[in-house]
Amino acid sequence: MAELSALGSAPPRRRSVRSGQDRLPLGRTSGTGLGLAVLWLSLLVLVPLAAVVSKAAGAGLADFWSAVTTHEALSAIRLTVLAAAAVSLVNAVMGTLIAWVLVRDEFVGKRVLEVLIDLPFALPTIVAGLVLTTLYGPHSPVGVTWYASRPGVLVALLFVTLPFVVRTVEPVLLSLETEAEQAAASLGAGPVRTFVRIVLPAIAPAIASGASLAFGRAMGEYGSVVLISGQLPRTEVASQYIYQQIESGYLPDAAAVATVLLLVSVLVLALLNGLRGWAARRG
Amino acid sequence: MGIQALDITKRFGAFLALDDVTLEVGSGELTALLGPSGGGKSTLLRIIGGLEEADSGRVVIDGVEATGIPAQRRDVGFVFQHYAAFKHLSVYRNVAFGLEIRKRPKAEIQRRVRELLELVHLEQFADRMPAQLSGGQRQRMALARALAVEPKVLLLDEPFGALDAKVRKELRDWLRRLHDEVHVTTVFVTHDQEEALEVADSLVVINHGRIEQVGSPNELYDHPANDFVMGFLGPVTRLGGHLVRPHDIEVLTADSAGAVPASVQRLVRVGYQVRAELRADAAPATAQVAGPGGGQAGAPGAASVGRPAGAEPDAAAADTAVQLTRGQADALELRVGSRVWLRPAQHASVLTAR
Amino acid sequence: MLTSSPPRPAPAPAASRTRPARRRTSGSRWSLRLAAVAYVGVLVALPVGLVLWRTIDQGAAVFLDAITGPEAIAAFRLTAIVAASAVVINTVFGVGAALLLARYRFRGRTLLDLAIDLPISVSPIIVGLALVLAFGWTTGWFGPPLQNAGLQVIFATPGMVLATSFVSLPLVVREVLPVLTETGLEQDQAAQSLGANALQRFRRITLPTIKWALAYGVVLSIARTLGEFGAVRVVSGNVGSQTQTVTLLVDERAEQFEPGAYQLSVVLIAVAALCIVLISIIRPNEKK
């Protein structure tokens, strides 16, 4: 959505760009509205998140450090970051490929493919986990058992992040003029060369932003992983680890690992914003 | 009565959009606010309409204090450059909008909307959606919509700015005729001097947040108060130390009192007219005996030629642009390299160059 | 589910058809097509299909039993209450925030814009933890006053509504804001100069303008709120028939190998599919 459209397609057009006249100063009603909006946002999002960071920091640096460097915590964080990175890479390649097929190819059943790509967005994560466990779990009808294994976690993350790159790259690809490609072809460039030299530079920002969206999502994923990971320490992602700590009543430890994850999220968000600016400048 | 905007000042951050501007518009007049974009004319219009609030100053409409009164209670019709059509409403509902808000009886609304659609020649488009209209039709709809509520004044912000040249010209004539019929006090903003000269009863030239000059189109064209107004209303070129309109220069084949010797650098024929670029001799001409006038002023309407030399800074200061009719050019037997003498025509407006 | 961006709907097929046919050897075209279809097939179609098939295989009686049991009914009820509350809250907040961001200039505008995106990139478990640390009676900053007032947020419906609102916060704003920005102020100002007051302008001009974007955002929110799992799991306490939503019930049945997980999942899959269909209907209208 926001990211998808803002990054994917051209930035919103503004018709009149008279300085200072395209936005109004706040009045009494709008001022009150702003106050309420900020209050609600603070109460719901900002203050609770601050409470997490404060809980983590309140225990002192030494405790924070030992909380995030226990064997289990480190293993969970490492698995999460590595899996998220791997998932972003796979998505960058497969997402671009799928977007290409959706835009440049016509075949019977394309509409079905479209719906299937959107399905992971609309499907509850626990249901995603259940369907994957049914196919790749203990009683797999296809004989592939990824239950309680790292590949299982990876598949779950790939499932929930499937649409990100596809849906960011698609509009850019759609708006791309084919003339440049035809010109390249007329100059003797083969299809691979044309793609690498002409198309790829144009869609690279969209791929990057889609991949970083997928990264952020994979970093925080919980629901789809719960069933397939088998709840073993070896296959536990950071969110699961935090949940275990909450359930066991170790709130400071949970807060400490959560703070590390939040930090990564903020970094991803900053990166995303940078990319958005970069894409807007180029577009 | 009409409109009075008194001592208006408006800032956008550090940018001074209007600097203590006072403007009076006579009742029933059609006035153009003319100036370059960013000069403050739109801001002034929006302040009169209540869409923007001045930092200081007052607005009086038809003798009623309007300062601080929100736009919805000012009884002002406003027409925007990009039509501001209500895209989800039909043409009919667009025009009826103000009347519906005022809870007028249905029959009256119907009658009034029909009347207005007839006035703007859109009666057969009543059921269309704005997206199905051309730009010119949309702007006429917007005008009908603004007039439907019988506003005390009509304000138009670059009303033809988004239209192509041909439609623009049509709508311009049409606005003039409409105003002659309806006689509502009207102010319109434009950066197009031709539009302002052709349509308005009176012109207000605004630049850098200040009013440069106010007057009738002819007054301003013939007696510009300064080089900005002169340059903005039509083409200007330099002759000696003076600013003159290119069609106000006489080209003589013999030396004469006050004439500047020059040689033809370039000749361009555009349809019925000939544009000549001439370079004055390096040494300033000394006063000599007067001779008979040769050239006649070109049609003032040909102002659309642009501002060939005068608009450019000193680099081309020595070059003078002259506009002649084809007949004049032929009679003078002008060729590139011809030696001629130049002087301002008899009734030419002449300003001393800065 | 939609932790982050919701589906960018299928692009209008007409647009892709206007593209000139690529001149590529049919071999590479086929292999690309095959790769795309195979990837999506193995990742999505096959597992979802298998669950549908298992459900059908177990028969209609089992299906009806599973979705009409007392726990299931309670879960559906609670899910509906939580989702509806969160959607209403987010719609009001979303339209208000979008209006503010699109039309007004104020200090901290960019900051507000960024803060609204924050929930997108926060793990649902952290959302739950954050709410526990803010509103829990014994654990939270606001715990003591809430306890004194006898108002239980965590382990109760209000907490679940908060958690669900948190995760779906940006969905409406992000759909409505671009439309409002694109539309600009002129229509509103025209209506104002024609005598319409703020309420009349909102009802007669703004609402019809954002109608489809709003509908889109609401459908996205519905899908997202119905399916929320992690955040709700943390704040709910997960007490059967009391604070158990449908997703929590699915998890419980699946982990304890009790019957009903497939059947309840199929209901949720159907709702998700319905949302996608609604979106594909809404989307072309929004383009107009």
pLDDT of residue C160: 92
Q: Is residue C17 part of a domain?
A: no
Average pLDDT over residues B325-332: 86
- Residue B298, pLDDT > 70, answer no
DSSP state of A190: -
**How close does chain A come to C151, measured CA to CA in Å?**
16
Is C203 in the B-facing interface, judged by CB distances under 8 Å? no
Nearest by CB to residue A220, choosing from C45, C121, C234, is: C121
Is the distance from CB of A242 to CB of A254 less than 8 angstroms? yes
Bridge partners, B323 (sequence order): B275
Q: For B105-131, how does the pLDDT look when each residue is reduced to its tens digit (9 = 90+)?
A: 999 999 999 999 998 889 999 999 999
Question: How many folded domains does chain C comprise?
Answer: 1
Q: What is the mean pLDDT of each run of 10 residues along chain C (288 residues)?
A: 41 42 64 90 88 86 86 90 94 93 89 86 91 88 87 88 92 90 89 90 92 90 90 82 85 84 89 87 72
In a domain, C249, yes or no: yes
Tokens coding B73:
């209670």
> For the stretch A23-42, what's the b/e string if a residue is b when 16 or more beta carbons lie within 10 angstroms of its beta carbon?
ebebeeebeebbeebbebbe
Å between A220 CA and nearest CA of chain C: 4
Q: Which domains does chain A have, with CATH numbers?
A: 81-236+266-282 (1.10.3720.10)
- Please state the rounded mean pLDDT for residues B190-216: 91
Kindly determine whether residue A123 and residue C99, on different chains, have CB atoms separated by under 8 Å. Answer: no
Element (H, E) at B7: strand B3-12
The C-alpha atoms of residue B13 and residue B7 are separated, in whole angstroms, by 19
Query: How do strand B153-157 and strand B76-79 relate by DSSP bridges?
Result: parallel
Asked if residues C152 and C146 have their Cβ atoms less than 8 Å apart, the reply is yes
Instruction: Please report the pLDDT score of residue B318 as a whole number.
Output: 60
Amino acid at B351: L
| Res A128 pLDDT > 80 | yes
Question: Could you tell me which residues come within 8 angstroms of residue B326 by beta carbon, excluding any fewer than 6 positions away?
Answer: B269, B272, B273, B274
Q: How confident is the model at residue B332 (pLDDT cuts 50, 70, 90)?
A: confident
- Note whether C32 contacts A97, CB cutoff 8 Å: yes
Please, are residues B81 and A16 in contact by the beta-carbon 8 Å criterion? yes
Q: Which residues of B touch C187 (CB under 8 A)?
A: 84-87
Chain B residue with the nearest C-alpha to that of C207 = B88
Q: Strand C104-105 to strand A24-25: parallel, antiparallel, or no bridges (unpaired)? A: parallel
Q: Which residues of C touch B70 (CB under 8 A)?
A: 192
Torsion of CA C159, C164, C166, C168, to 10 degrees: -170
Residue B84 in contact with partner chain A when CB distance is under 8 A: no
C 66-125 → A contacts, CB under 8 A: 93, 96-97, 99-100, 103-106, 112, 114-125
Write the residue in C186, C194, C200 that is nearest to B82 by C-beta: C186
How many residue pairs bridge chain A and chain C with CB atoms within 8 Å of each other? Answer: 356
A32 touches chain C (CB under 8 A): no
Residue A28 contacts C, CB cutoff 8 Å: no
Widest CA span in chain A = 67
- Tell me what percent of the residues of chain B surpass a pLDDT of 90: 34
Q: Which residue of B has its CA nearest to C205?
A: B86
User: In chain C, positions 173-192, which contact chain B (CB-CB < 8 Å)?
Assistant: 184, 186-187, 189-192
Indicate whether C138 belongs to any domain. yes
Does C193 fall in a domain? yes
Interface test with A, best of C53, C88, C110, C121 (most A CBs within 10 A): C121
Across A191-205, average pLDDT: 83
Asked whether residue C30 is assigned to any structural domain, the reply reads no
The confidence band for A276, taking pLDDT boundaries of 50, 70 and 90, is: low
Q: For chain B, what is the mean pLDDT? A: 84
Against chain C, the chains showing at least 3 CB pairs within 8 Å are: A, B
Lowest mean pLDDT among A6-15, A98-107, B270-279, C107-116: A6-15
Q: How far from the centroid of its chain's Cα atoms is residue C118's Cα? A: 15
Confidence of residue A200 (pLDDT cuts 50, 70, 90): confident
Cβ <8 Å between C130 and A52: yes
What is the C-alpha separation between B332 and C243, in angstroms, rounded? 100
State the Cα–Cα distance between residues C52 and C74, nearest whole angstrom.
Answer: 23
d(CA A54, nearest CA chain C) in Å: 10
Predicted pLDDT at A121: 85
Interface test with B, best of C104, C193, C197 (most B CBs within 10 A): C193
CATH classification of the domain holding C133: 1.10.3720.10
Whole-angstrom distance, CA of residue A101 vs CA of residue A114: 11
**What token pair was written down for B34?**
């003319």
Which domain covers residue C161, as residue numbers?
59-287
What pLDDT score does A187 carry? Answer: 80
Which three-class secondary structure state does DSSP give residue B250? strand
Nearest CA in chain B to A16: B82
Tell me the pairing of strands B185-190 and B153-157: parallel
Alpha-carbon gap, residue B151 to B85, rounded angstroms:
18
Does the beta carbon of B18 lie under 8 angstroms from any beta carbon of chain C?
A: no
pTM score of the predicted model? 0.81
- Residue C175 to residues A2, C2, C94, C252, C258: CA-CA distances in angstroms? 7, 14, 9, 34, 40
Q: Which of A141-150, B329-338, C100-109, C196-205 shows the lowest mean pLDDT across its residues? A: A141-150
Residue A222 distance to chain C (closest CA, Å)? 6
Is C54 inside any structural domain? Answer: no
What pLDDT, on a 0 to 100 scale, did the predictor assign at position A13?
34
Q: Which of A22, A168, A258 sits opposite C185 (nearest CB)?
A: A22
Closest residue by Cα to residue A40 from C227, C95, C137, C231:
C95
CA distance to partner chain A, nearest, from residue B268 (Å): 37
The pLDDT value given to residue B173: 87
Give contacts of A24 with chain C, Cβ < 8 Å. Answer: 103-105, 185
* Cβ neighbourhood burial of B313 (10 Å; 0-12, 13-18, 19+): exposed
Neighbours of A247 (CB within 10 A): 11
| Residues A275, A209 contacting (CB under 8 angstroms) | yes
Q: What does chain C look like in DSSP terms, one character per residue?
A: --SSPPPPPPPPHHHHHTSPPP---HHHHHHHHHHHHHHHIIIIIHHHHHHHHHHHHH-HHHHHHHHHSHHHHHHHHHHHHHHHHHHHHHHHHHHHHHHHHHHEE-TTHHHHHHHHHGGGGS-HHHHHHHHHHHH-TTTSTTHHHHHHTT---TTSHHHHHHHHHHHTTHHHHHHHHHHHHHH-SHHHHHHHHTT--HHHHIIIIIHHHHHHHHHHHHHHHHHHHHH--HHHHHHH---TTTS--HHHHHHHHHHTT-TTHHHHHHHHHHHHHHHHHHHHHHHHHHH-
At what angle are helices B165-182 and B135-148 packed, to 10 degrees?
A: 20
Question: For residues C167 and C86, what is the distance between their CA atoms, to the nearest angstrom?
Answer: 10
For B155, the token pair is: 């304000």
- Out of C51, C134, C275, whose CB is closest to A51? C134
For residue C133, tell me if it sits in a domain.
Answer: yes
- The reply to whether residue C115 touches residue A126, judged by beta carbons under 8 angstroms, is no
pLDDT of residue C125: 93
CB atoms B86 and C191 under 8 Å: yes
Distance from CA of A14 to the nearest CA of B (A): 12
Q: How far apart are CA B111 and CA B90, in angstroms?
A: 16
